[in-house]
Amino acid sequence: ITTPLGLTQTSLQVPMADTTRPFHCGNIHSDYYFLCDTDSAWGIVLESLAAAGIIVCLILIFTLLFLICKVQDSSKRSMISIQFLFLLGTLGLFGLTFAFIIKLNDSTGPTRFFLFGVLFALCFSCLLTHAFNLIKLVRGKTPMSWIVMLAIVAGLTMVQVIIAILYIVITVVRYGMTYTMSDAKAIQQRNMDFVMLLIYVLFLMALIFLVSMFTFCGPYRGWKRHGAHIYVTILFSIAIWVVWITMLIKGNRDLSKQPLWDDPVVSIALVANAWVFLMMYIVPELCFLTAPCKPEDYPPENDFCQPKHMKKRYGVENKAYTQEEIVQGMMNCVACPCTNLEPQKEFSIPRPKTRLSPYEEYTGGRGVE
């Protein structure tokens, strides 16, 4: 019987478990040997980095929840929602690393194919939504509300969820489990399928790279710093993805290390990209949440309500009336919305002009008869 991957029914057999038990692993299943095998130290190193990342993510999540009441700028406060989702996605990436350290089986196979793309799609959707919001803020325009940003993130992530579900249903339900096939042709096809499932995620990365560059075009420099965080994060992420995809598709095969290096390559990419998310994006963003804003870097929240000094065109300006009008304008901004304000008019006190006297030509004598 031939499957869609061009494999016969005999190639679907799961390979026998390795009976060579590592010295420090004790009485556990062979699928979990890389978690404790000191001879293959990559598993222990990666699980240590992943565990440390999980702890840091949890600390940052509680820190973000604590900072909600401390942030005074409503534009920054509205972005906390997508940063919270971003942290949850990064936490999931650290946890997913263990599914690649554990050997490929019927349980870890669907987990790898489903969660890898979905978690990265969630993180990159948060970055893309943040970049779109910064494009408006850096130009002094009204930002998006947190509900709109959450809806955009959910919609962008749902696309990858549908793609992953369709692949798992077609592969597992219709054609049987193909994740654990062991011959060289099956392994190469499985790696190709894994990368093909991530085409949408690669599209999100390319879009973020382009959109983040537009965040540097605008008069308000304060928001440009946030755009720089996104730009640097996506730049490092693209570099990591290029390396691990090249190694998974071609590098390991050319070096005759396939499938021995397949799981370590993807695991290293997971941990490295998750730490890039934390160090290049989340930590700097948390530092800027409570940082004091400079007036020249950030636009005021009621820019249209701010009292403006009148331009002097003619006449002598009465400074007493000017101060009174500024105070009155500030009180009116609090009492009425900005959209109801009428255009500012100019006032000045006219100069006194001399008038001709009616008796200027009177000489006091009688007229000539």
Confidence class for position 365, pLDDT limits 50, 70, 90: low
Distance CA 367, CA 369 (A): 6
- Does the domain made of 28-289 have the CATH classification 1.20.1070.10? yes
Confidence class for position 37, pLDDT limits 50, 70, 90: confident
Q: What is the pLDDT of residues 258-302, one digit of tens each?
A: 888 888 999 999 999 999 999 999 999 888 877 666 655 555 544
| Among 79-83, 173-177, 231-235, 306-310, the least confident range | 306-310
Confidence class for position 342, pLDDT limits 50, 70, 90: very low
pLDDT at 352: 64
Show the tokens assigned to 283: 């930590």
Domain edges within the chain: 28-289, 303-339
Question: What 8-state DSSP symbol labels residue 338?
Answer: G
pLDDT at 347: 53
pLDDT at 346: 54
Confidence class for position 337, pLDDT limits 50, 70, 90: very low
Q: Which residue has the higher pLDDT, 166 or 2?
A: 166
Q: Which residue has the higher pLDDT, 340 or 201?
A: 201
Q: Which residue has the higher pLDDT, 317 or 166?
A: 166
Question: What 8-state DSSP symbol labels residue 38?
Answer: S
pLDDT at 333 over 50: no
Mean pLDDT (the chain) is 77
pLDDT at 94: 95
pLDDT at 28: 80
Question: What 8-state DSSP symbol labels residue 175?
Answer: T
Show the tokens assigned to 350: 């006219």
pLDDT at 5 over 50: no
pLDDT at 335: 41
pLDDT at 12 over 60: no
CB 121 within 8 A of CB 163: no
Confidence class for position 16, pLDDT limits 50, 70, 90: very low
| Among 2-16, 77-91, 104-118, 309-323, the least confident range | 2-16
Q: What is the pLDDT of residues 158-194, one digit of tens each?
A: 999 999 999 888 876 665 555 666 677 878 888 888 9
Alpha-carbon dihedral of residues 160, 164, 167, 172, nearest 10 degrees? -170
pLDDT at 326 over 80: no
Q: Which residue has the higher pLDDT, 236 or 317?
A: 236
Residue 136 sits at φ, ψ, to 5 deg, of -75, -40
How confident is the model over 83-98, as a mean pLDDT? 94
pLDDT at 254 over 90: no
CB 129 within 8 A of CB 82: yes
pLDDT at 141: 82
pLDDT at 316 over 60: no
pLDDT at 177: 56
Q: Which residue has the higher pLDDT, 331 or 195?
A: 195
pLDDT at 55 over 80: yes
Alpha-carbon dihedral of residues 346, 352, 358, 362, nearest 10 degrees? -150
pLDDT at 11: 36
Distance CA 95, CA 49 (A): 11
Show the tokens assigned to 111: 């987990």
CA angle 199–203–208, rounded 5-degree value: 150
